[in-house]
Amino acid sequence: MSDRSDQQAQQKFNQEKFEEAAEQFENPEWRGSAYYKAGEFDKALEAFKQSDSVDALYNQGNSYAKLQNLDEAINAYDKVLEK
């Protein structure tokens, strides 16, 4: 992602234009965070699944919880603790 594109996406995020920011971010964790803030938990989950960082796993758990899939949320949180 170019610096300019990244800056534009961050500006949209800061302006609470989360869906627009999500479409512009290339980083899956940033994209997931924007979708999560927009209430698009299914899209957030798919973005967070593209990374295996501790933060992404934790946010997968949060997304699963928002989607009322508590078993998967617990599994994601367990993976965080393992790391």
Task: Select from 53, 54, 33 the least CA-distant residue to 45.
Answer: 33
Instruction: Say if residue 26's pLDDT is above 90.
Output: no
Instruction: Say if residue 28's pLDDT is above 70.
Output: yes
pLDDT band at 1 (very low <50, low <70, confident <90, very high): very low
- pLDDT the model gives residue 3: 64
- pLDDT the model gives residue 4: 76
- Amino acid type, 10: Q
Instruction: Say if residue 6's pLDDT is above 90.
Output: no
Instruction: Give the percent of the chain with pLDDT over 90.
Output: 87
Q: What is the mean pLDDT of residues 55-59?
A: 98
Q: Return d(Cα 83, Cα 74) in angstroms, integer.
A: 14
Residue 2 is given by DSSP the state -
